[in-house]
Amino acid sequence: MSKKILFLVLTLFASFLLIQKATAQNAPGLFEGQDDVGRVKTPGSGTYDATTQRYQLSGSGTNVWATHDEFHYVWKKMKGDFILRTNAVFIGKGVEEHRKAGWMVRASLDSGSKHISAVMHGSGLTSLQFRRSTGGITEEKKFELTSADEVIQLERKGNVYTMSVAKRGEMFVSQEVSDIDLGDEVYVGLFICSHNPSVTEKAVFNNVRIVVPAPASLVPYKQYLGSDIEILDLQTQNSRIVYQSPVSLQAPNWMQDGKHLLYNSDGLLYKFDLKNNTPAVLNTGSANHNNNDHVISFDGKWLAISSADQSGASMGWVVPITGGEPRRLTPVGPSYMHGWSPDGKWIVFCGARNNEYDVYRVPSAGGPEERLTTTKGLDDGPEYSPDGKYIYFNSVRSGLMQVWRMKADGSEQTQLTNDDYNNWFPHVSPDGKWIEYITFLKSEVAPGDHPFYKHVYLRVMPVDGGPSTVVAYLYGGQGTINTPSWSPDSKHLAFISNTSLLFPIFPISKK
């Protein structure tokens, strides 16, 4: 090879590396790159604010339609199944009512590539758009829902793509396409198109999540996915990931100082510093097989935990909040601790006795347990209201799992939710005004079960019952909010979401 040719080859290779490096450097957040696809007139951009974990895209382009597309795209390459989710809103009134933004999955970055897109239009129209073949005509499935502030989800399971949308605070509605083959490795990302080549439009994306769900081969309660600890601002309904781990983290309690969380992992309890985003083991002595049923007393001085004894059954224990050797509370099991009375004299728990799961209470100082529910089927998740007048719990007695309330002595048991979902683990806000609970789909979960790794909602309703509002859409379940997770000021919630492949918001911990 001549020196001139060698020099040319090396120059081209160096240029390629610089382009690749620039693409990586310009890739916002969890994405690998960003590009203008097609012959756009005005270059677009994508930025990421690490403090708010918010993305902002700007872009032009004639359309995403017909046989080719023009838009701005932030993307990463992926294989296998995934769930994409975000809250999306356009900035400003806009010029064209059919400006578009949302999620897009493409076979390539060519303008005529096969793709499937979950699209929000400036007019409020929401649709699932797709091109079955390279250079083919784009097809569309429209939703009846119209909104300017939407939650958009696009899920791939094999060659089945399901788009789900909701007005913020409401439940998803869905449509699917099952006969589009984009290949195993695809481009996955957020896009924006102005629908006018001379105009640049902008959109903001909050709660951006790329979830790799549990494989069909996963063995429940023996194999686990990675975990994200998230903090949700109830006013904005935007959440931030504050910690990530490749192992199972479960059930974050918010401690009374407002500066720490308490969660369990692999039999141990961890105190998590919200300022430094670091955990430290909390000493629970000989109780080292702790599960995700643990609760802090109202005065913040004591911790009731559930930990297996030598027989392997979960028992109730009490330990100082600073740690130490625990004192056994329940003589038989299984027993799962859930709530302290405000005066600190009682602890309510779910106990399995004679093959029946019911709500019990036991003196925190020790003494005989008292059964509070007697109906057939599961009664679980009991928790006192801050004024001590009521105990909230969930029960399967009316068919599906629903939220119930009774007086502190077990009388006047009243159903508070009555819908077509399975509702678990009611937690009363510290100000006594609201109840948070987790909702499972009855198509995925039996009424008496609350497994890991499902599509779930977190919902909030008035403490006396009434219309519920969805405050978070996520992939989780068991361990997401088994324990009281309200901040002391009742303005935030802590919860766990799950994915088998973590896309780091910051360096991932090994624990």
CB 119 within 8 A of CB 161: no
The encoded tokens of residue 273 equal 């510093």
For the segment 161-173, what is each residue's pLDDT rounded down to a tens digit? 999 999 999 999 9
Residue bearing tokens 């629970």: 284
DSSP state string for 428-493: E-TTSSEEEEEEEETTTS-TT---SSEEEEEEEEETT----EEEEEEEE-TTTSSS--B-TTSSEE
What is the SS3 assignment for 14?
A: helix
Pairing mode of beta strands 402-407, 414-415: antiparallel
H or E element in which residue 4 lies: helix 3-26
User: At a CB cut-off of 8 Å and minimum separation 6, what does 442 contact?
Assistant: 400, 420, 421, 422
Tell me the average pLDDT across 35-55. Answer: 97
Helix, strand, coil shares of the chain, percent, nearest 5, are: 5, 50, 45
Q: How many residues does the chain have?
A: 511
Q: Mean pLDDT across the chain, nearest whole number?
A: 93
Residue 145 confidence (pLDDT) = 87
For residue 14, pLDDT over 50 is answered with no
User: At a CB cut-off of 8 Å and minimum separation 6, what does 131 contact?
Assistant: 67, 112, 113, 114, 115, 116, 137, 138, 139
The encoded tokens of residue 95 equal 């010029």
For the segment 202-243, what is each residue's pLDDT rounded down to a tens digit? 999 999 999 999 999 999 999 999 999 999 999 999 999 999
CA geometry: angle at 15 spanning 13 and 16, to 5°? Answer: 65
Residue 284 confidence (pLDDT) = 97
Residue 146 confidence (pLDDT) = 83
Give the residue among 160, 220, 139, 239 at the shortest CA–CA distance from 485.
Answer: 239
Fold designation for 29-210? Jelly Rolls (2.60.120)
d(CA 398, CA 256): 35
Cis link prior to 334 (omega < 30° from 0)? yes
The encoded tokens of residue 286 equal 């000989």
d(CA 289, CA 272): 19
Beta pairing partners, 336: 350
Tell me the average pLDDT across 400-427. Answer: 98
For residue 1, pLDDT over 80 is answered with no
Residue 38 confidence (pLDDT) = 97
CB 382 within 8 A of CB 350: yes
Residue bearing tokens 């339609």: 65
Write a three-state SS string for 409-433: CCCCCEECCCCCEEEEEEEECCCCC
For residue 48, pLDDT over 60 is answered with yes
For the segment 355-404, what is each residue's pLDDT rounded down to a tens digit? 999 999 999 999 999 999 999 999 999 999 999 999 999 999 999 999 99
* Percentage, residues of the chain above pLDDT 90: 90
CA geometry: angle at 434 spanning 428 and 438, to 5°? Answer: 70
The encoded tokens of residue 41 equal 């007139």
Residue 3 confidence (pLDDT) = 40
For the segment 450-505, what is each residue's pLDDT rounded down to a tens digit? 999 999 999 999 999 999 999 999 999 999 999 999 999 999 999 999 999 776 66
Tell me the average pLDDT across 10-27. Answer: 43
Tell me the average pLDDT across 427-435. Answer: 98
Cis link prior to 320 (omega < 30° from 0)? no
Tell me the average pLDDT across 252-278. Answer: 97
What is the SS3 assignment for 21?
A: helix
- Confidence tier at 509 by pLDDT (50, 70, 90): low
The dihedral through the CA atoms of 303, 308, 309, 314 has a sign that is: positive
- Confidence tier at 508 by pLDDT (50, 70, 90): low
For the segment 86-123, what is each residue's pLDDT rounded down to a tens digit? 999 999 999 999 999 999 999 999 999 999 999 999 99
For residue 440, pLDDT over 50 is answered with yes
Tell me the average pLDDT across 4-31. Answer: 48
Tell me the average pLDDT across 280-288. Answer: 97
For the segment 121-162, what is each residue's pLDDT rounded down to a tens digit? 999 999 999 999 999 999 999 999 887 788 999 999 999 999
- What are the boundaries of each domain within the chain? 29-210, 226-499
Residue 13 confidence (pLDDT) = 35
Residue 507 confidence (pLDDT) = 53
d(CA 416, CA 466): 8
Fold designation for 226-499? Neuraminidase (2.120.10)
* Percentage, residues of the chain above pLDDT 70: 93
**Main-chain phi, psi angles of 11, to 5 degrees:** -65, -45
Calculate the CA 7 to chain-centre distance: 52
For residue 7, pLDDT over 70 is answered with no
d(CA 252, CA 268): 13
For residue 11, pLDDT over 50 is answered with no
